[in-house]
Structure 1
Amino acid sequence: MLLLSLIIFSGLNFCDTPADCDKSQIIGNWTFQIESPSSEPDLNCMSHGEIAPNTTIHVILEEPNIAKSEKGDIGNWTMVDIEGISIYLGGYHYFALFQYIEDEDEAGKTIYYNYCNQTRGGWQNLDIVKPQNFSCFVATKDINTTQQQQHDQQQSALHRIVRLREDYQQQSSSSKYQQFKTKNQQYIKQSKPIQPVPSDPRQIAQFPDSLDWSNQNSYDFTDPVYNQGQCGSCYAFGALGMLETRFSIQMNKTVDNSLSVQDVVSCSHYTQGCDGGYGLEVSQWARDHGIVSSKCFPYQQAQSGLPEISCEFKLCTEQGIQQDRRTYYAENVHYAGGFYGNCSEEAMIRELQNGPIAISIYASLEPFNEYKSGIFDYEYTDIQPSDHLVLLVGYGIYEERNPTTGEKITTPFWKLKNSWGQSWGENGFMRIIRGKNLLNIESEAEVADPYIIPGLYWPDEQSPQDQKKQKAMVAAIISLALVSFVLLMCTIVFGFIAFMKRKSVDDGYAVVGGSGFEFAGGKIQNQ
């Protein structure tokens, strides 16, 4: 398989498979053939081999995102960019990528035949966090006779040919960032970049004028800026950066919850390791299987020439000392706007109120690579599909005065966090003009919430011994509190008895020591 060098001030290999399908090709009736549930916790359905179906179901996918079953269940679905589908229906979740076959053309060059009416092996599981017993499935679109004939002739709308971008190495070699290259395939696809849905300024006006989770009331909820190095793992840094920060927001920064990018690169079957992936797939993997902390499985893919680290190395030990073994989960995985193709400036601002979001951009422009500071605004006509994923941490409005007229000039902007190290941009961040869909920034945003179980998370710094000491201290405090309570009750009881005795005196009866006098009714009598 031909491998081409790709500039990588990161890995710009955002499109991870040759699949290239439009939503219009997917709308219609589908047949799902599903195997029996498997007890294998690490089931890889894409390399599972031939499916031995135990159940067959029929699903209808409709605009804009309605899914229906033959039993009358109604759910929702979305494209996973142009490469797959995600369906929630009848209490189950279905996820699969579209089928393609590698071949050669008459000149001996690699090509890929797309089959947008078929999926590769996909996963079915209960629509819950951390489901058990996954089932593998394949889905095939039901097509009529005319479509079948066109398909057989390789001319159907369901069939596309994707080629490798042979000139990409030459285009990239002119960059001064050539030393940051990695090897990866770049595909020439027919699908055009999706456009954002128009936003209503009145709806945007209901939100604050600015928001920045990297500087919220002078507090930074985000993790430090990382450098992904020469591995196409931008999708993992962006998606996990979103979850990390949202964990910090909900836990008020009381827990060190840096998540392991290496866990995704090495262990996730939903993505392609250093060859790319999508943020939605990362969040879905976090929902289904969880992500360990970076202390448990540190990032090791930054250097060139290193083989990908096996998931077997996720031992969570260092020199015999057990590291943090907590597993973090996600929930409410979705696209901003509800489904792929329905993103907008308003939808992004709405989602940002709860924390950062992962966004897809086109980052192969030289001015983007050269960015140092200020609000990025660049005019270009050759709009290309997104090839990079970053973390959107906020938005704002920059105000300045025209030096000649004194007129106030306002510029709305987004603030994003990249994974190319602190030497890029404004210490690893960028401000980019808002409302123009520059670099496709308003076309595709992915969101997920952290799944938090009360009492499950605690500071990483506490060793098991520290936790035992803390428990002993808590027990001692409780014991002292009980003793104090008992003493307080005794004091109250004895005080009450003394009060009652004194009250008896005030009511008019007492004997005065050996004097022979008795006090009664306010008079002193001599007996």
Structure 2
Amino acid sequence: MSWLFWALQLLTCQIAFADLPVHCLHHEIIGSWKFVLGRPSGTRSSCGHLRPDSVDVQPGRDVLDAVDRELVVSLKDPNIAEAEAHPLGTWTMIYDEGFEVELGHLNFFAFSNFTFDVNEHGKHNISHCDQTMVGWYHNKDRTQFGCYYGTKIPTEEEMQLAVEMKSRHLCPSRKKPKTLLYQTKMSQRHQRKVIDKLAERIESESLGWKAKPMDKWNGLSMLQVNSYAGIKREKRTSEMLRQHGAALKTLEGRVKRRSFLRSSSVSQLGAALPEALDWTNVNGRSYVEEVMDQSECGSCYVASAMRMLTARHKIKQNDTSLSPWSISFPLQCSEYNQGCKGGYGILATKWSQEVGLLPAECMQYGSEGACQLECNLKELKGPRFRADNHRYVGSWYGEHGDKVEEIKAELYHNGPLILGLEPSEDFMWYSEGIYRSPGTSNLIHPTSGSEWERVDHAVLLVGYGEENGQKYWKLQNSWGEDWGEKGYFRIVMGENDSGIESIPEAADVVEDEQRGRQVNAFFQQQPKGQSMEAKELRIAEKIEKMLEGKLCHGSTASRRPFPGDSWDKLRHAASVVGHGAQAQIAPVAASQVARVLQKHGERHKRRRALNEEAKQIAMAVDMSIWALGMICEHQERNVGGDSTSAWKMWLSHMPPRCDREVGIKACSQLLQLVVKNHPVVTATEQLPRVLAILADSYKSRNSNSALDKDIAAAVAKAGAGTVKQLASSLPERQQKKLEQMLKDESRTDGNGMAPS
């Protein structure tokens, strides 16, 4: 029975995918900042971030072991950075998520701070644009590395604004997409209908390109197809644009809305350029790698970045036979991006500049990989290389210059580069011709400069040309050779269609003067088999103690087993153990949290009223449930033969009952697993248990209105008859709750999701 899987295709949890849940504009960063620098070291560290980074697991400022010094930095419009006793520097926004500063021989980068708030309407992310997360700094010759964080020194005007609006909620409500196409699984027949309508529109608007069904999209929803893009389409574009427009109106005449890190290396901008260019065919030679299929991994940003560096290396060395650079190295190992959940090409090249490059054979590409070396670094022959001069092409991000000529010059003089775009959904079915968005799709990508361009897919620009009087860009996609023009596509030039000319990015390749020392040091920090680092072992050992409440302190009267923010640290530990970076400790951690559940779980489920002491144990049990679910989902392979029993234990103790935030997360995880058609939750014998969990979660204190709607709609989609049959063995209380769900859902329009 797969009814629940099908129903939940309509209910994929609204979780931010790829980029970080933070939104800060250029004018909000301008001002004076206090940077607190930790003690530098000759070895680069993760500064407490996971590898790859995770939205849910961000380090606290106590990561800085010791403060080395404080530095007051003034960031001015459009790009000037000043600090006492330092040469004049520059700075840039990194999209809307962070900023990078160069001051003399020092480079700083950090993401802007964000937090989460959970209320009856769901989970909200809140941007704190006057603070940074823990970030990284290093000197120019890569011999000193450290961690830092920044706090903005407020002006009187900003202090007044802070009183009026302390923070900005990016997601004030959870509105489901209205189109079933975006939510339901596609078939060949379904695609054919879409293509027929699309063909009519292409012809009526004289767009000049063709579309075709794609076999690889069959069985996937548009939501799943969207995972092929590096930064997932947010469903609240109008809210983002409203904020952006309001900011521009408020600052009109005062803020130039542009920034840059450094100038492009294109010094011959005025030089004559050829009428056409194609790096895939230079006198019969191609400097570009074959088209790849990124699969269901949001890796387009790093695929385009590494393909760019590979092509530029081949061009510089005049050797098309050179091995490509590893895509998986920055994809699975970089703290600057979120792995298969997305990131930015400019940060992939920045990381490759600081750490270095590896040939592809040292870490082969895979959508379910890990940061694990597959070659012997000592056996690598010849010089080692790294990226250099990562930059936005032109002069600065959001610059008003002639982007077309700047992009063409960069492409001609230095080789392929990264372009970002946000195409409309019809782009998924492109097959040939010069692409142009239908209708008014371009309205969200104004040709004039702006602080923030919403771009969600990265591609590799390899050439340009003209056909029947229409100039175009030629780009390599990463969706396989069966898409588009054998994996490539052409798009109209000079119109900034789909934002294609908004944020061009580039970097160069140079010989590593340290001969790979930073790469070697990086892997020496990684745990290896049974000889993992003592730090990782300490994490594993502490999990059980924390979850069992063995770190209790204080008087009996206070009944507070954890001081201050320790519950937040406990949630942090529960998140960490399931992350891919913790593969080596997964079996140990699973065993430890399982023991907690065996010892306390059943007693916890039977209790109704909890005194304060029992409540603390109950919260520890909730953390154990969440941690075990995270490990089972993300580390199933590493847990090995014990995974089946671990899954069953997780289901038997679901849902969490005491910690509201954990309860919402765990139930959302269950919905996600059903969407993925995981056998442990969609097996016939498990469906009654899944229904029971949903019944217990519905309109409980550990749910919210948005989650309740998802649960009710899923149950209603199955139909009253199916639900009654599956629930026949459940307690009367749960059966009545399921009946109530059906009634509640039938009284709403349910976006067409009322029970059949």
TM-score, normalised via structure 2 length: 0.51
Question: Which residue pairs with 1:80 in the alignment?
Answer: 94
Structure 2 counterpart of 1:120, one-letter code: M
Q: CA deviation at 1:27?
A: 1.2
Larger deviation: 337-346 or 174-183? 174-183
Which deviates further from its counterpart, 373-382 or 175-184? 175-184
Q: Which residue of 2 aligns with 1:423?
A: 482
Shift of 1:314: 1.3
| Structure 2 Cα separation of the partners of residues 429 and 145 of structure 1 | 52
Residues 391-430 of structure 1 show CA distances to partners (whole Å, capped at 9, x for unaligned) of 01111122x3xxxxxxxxx111001100000011111111
How does 1:148-187 map onto structure 2 within 5 Å?
Answer: 148-155=159-166, 159-162=168-171, 167=176, 170=180, 172-173=182-183, 176=191, 177=217, 179=219, 181=224, 187=234
Partners of 1:36 and 1:226 in 2: CA distance: 42
Task: Verify the 8 A CA contact 2:18 2:340 in the aligned structure 1.
Answer: no
How far apart are 1:456 and its partner, in Å?
A: 7.8
Distance 2:233 2:173 in 1: 6
In 2: Cα distance, 1:417 partner to 1:211 partner: 14
Higher RCO, 1 vs 2 (CA within 8 Å, ≥6 residues apart): 1
Superposition deviation, residue 42 in structure 1: 3.5
Query: Kindly tell me: are residues 173 and 411 of structure 1, through their superposed partners in 2, closer, same or farther at Cα, counting changes over 3 Å?
Result: same
Unpaired segments ≥5 residues, structure 1: 7-12, 198-202, 302-307, 401-409, 458-527
List per-residue Cα deviations over 1:319-377 (Å, max 9, x = no partner). Answer: xx9678975311111101232212711221121121011011003x2321111111112
Note if 1:32 corresponds to 2:41.
no
The letter of the residue matching 2:26 is K
Q: Does 2:116 align with 1:122?
A: no
Q: Does 1:44 align with 2:110?
A: no
Cα shift at 1:217: 2.0
CA distance in 2, matches of 1:17, 1:261: 21
Question: Which stretch has the larger CA shift, 212-221 or 185-194?
Answer: 185-194
Q: Secondary structure at the match of 1:393?
A: strand
1:253 aligns with 319
Q: Name the residue aligned to 1:370.
A: 429
Correspondence for 1:331: 388
**Contact 1:164 / 1:186 at 8 angstroms: preserved in 2?**
no
Query: Are the aligned partners of 1:283 and 1:333 in contact in 2 as well (CA < 8 Å)?
Result: yes
Quick check: 1:221 aligned with 2:287? yes
CA deviation map 1:82-128 (0-9, x unaligned)? 11101111211111111110112432x11101011111111010123
Give the letter aligned to residue 113 of structure 1: I
Counterpart among 505, 510, 531 of residue 451 in structure 1: 510
1:138 aligned to which of 149, 158, 175: 149
Counterpart-to-counterpart distance in 2, 1:446 and 1:178: 33
Give the drift of 1:45. 4.5
Deviations 1:253-281 (A, max 9, x none): 25523111111121000111111100110
Which has more helix, going by share of residues? 2
The equivalent of 1:265 in structure 2 is 331
Aligned partner of 1:116: which letter? C
Match status 1:147 vs 2:213: no
1:349 aligns with 2:418: no
Change (3 A) 1:357 1:228: same
Amino acid at match of 2:138: N
Q: Which residue type is aligned with residue 72 of structure 2?
A: H
Distance 2:481 2:309 in 1: 21
Whole-angstrom CA distance in 2 between matches of 1:242 and 1:186? 24
Shift of 1:39: 4.3
Task: Give 1:412's aligned residue.
Answer: 471
Following superposition, the deviation at residue 455 of structure 1 comes to 13
Q: Could you give the per-residue CA deviations for residues 38-95 of structure 1, whole angstroms, max 9, x where no partner exists? A: 3443333545432443211111111221111122521111100111101111211111
Q: Deviations over 1:442-467 (max 9, x none)?
A: 1001110011369989xxxxxxxxxx
* C-alpha separation in 2, matches of 1:41 and 1:88: 18
**Does the aligned pair in 2 maintain the 1:31–1:140 contact within 8 Å?**
yes
**Residue 132 of structure 2 contacts residue 150 of structure 2 at CA under 8 Å; is this kept in 1?**
yes
Distance 1:165 1:347 in 2: 41
Q: Counterpart amino acid of 2:95?
A: D
The answer for the alignment partner of 1:387 in structure 2 is 456
CA contact (8 A) 1:196 1:437 kept: no
CA distance in 2, matches of 1:431, 1:31: 46
Larger displacement relative to structure 2 (383-392 or 367-376): 383-392
Which deviations, in whole Å up to 9, do the C-alpha atoms of 1:149-171 show, x marking residues without a partner? 53255356xx4534687535955
User: Partners in 1 of 2:175 and 2:283 — Cα distance?
Assistant: 49
- Range that drifts further, 178-187 or 118-127: 178-187
Q: 1:164 to 1:231 in 2, by over 3 A?
A: farther
2:20, 2:9 → 1: CA distance? 16
Cα deviation for residue 212 of structure 1 reads 1.1
**Number of the residue aligned with 2:466:** 397
Describe the SS at the equivalent of 1:394: strand
Q: Report if the CA contact (8 A) 2:137-2:145 is conserved.
A: yes
The higher radius of gyration belongs to 1
2: distance between equivalents of 1:456 and 1:154? 51
Inter-partner Cα distance in structure 1 for 2:470 and 2:42: 55
From 95, 98, 121, the counterpart of 2:109: 95
Q: Residue 49 of structure 1 aligns to which amino acid in structure 2?
A: G
CA contact (8 A) 1:67 1:75 kept: yes
Aligned position for 1:360: 420
What percent of counterpart residues are identical? Answer: 32
Structure 1 position 208, deviation (Å): 1.5
Q: Quick one: which of 126, 140, 149 aligns to 1:113?
A: 126
Paired residues for 1:190-201 under 5 Å: 190-192=239-241
Higher strand share: 1
* Other-structure match for 1:53: 67
For the residues of structure 2 that align with 1:41 and 1:235, how far apart are their CA atoms?
Answer: 23
- Contact 1:239–1:282 under 8 Å retained in 2: yes
Structure 1 contact 67–87 (Cα < 8 Å) conserved: yes
CA contact (8 A) 2:233 2:456 kept: no
Aligned positions, number? 419
Conservation of the 8 A alpha-carbon contact between 1:280 and 1:334: yes
Distance change in 2, residues 1:452/1:359 (3 Å): same
Structure-to-structure mapping, 1:507-518, within 5 angstroms: none
User: Displacement of 1:136 after TM fit?
Assistant: 0.6
Secondary structure class of the residue paired with 1:350: helix
Three-state SS of the structure 2 residue aligned to 1:248 is helix
The 1:178–1:113 alpha-carbon spacing in structure 2 relative to 1, beyond 3 Å, is farther
Secondary structure class of the residue paired with 2:313: helix
Distance 1:390 1:162 in 2: 28
- In the alignment, residue 332 of structure 1 is paired with which amino acid? N
Secondary structure of the 1:235 match is: helix
Partner SS state of residue 44, structure 1: coil
Could you tell me which runs of 5 or more consecutive residues in structure 2 were left unpaired when the two chains were aligned.
1-7, 11-15, 50-57, 192-216, 246-256, 260-268, 445-453, 517-756
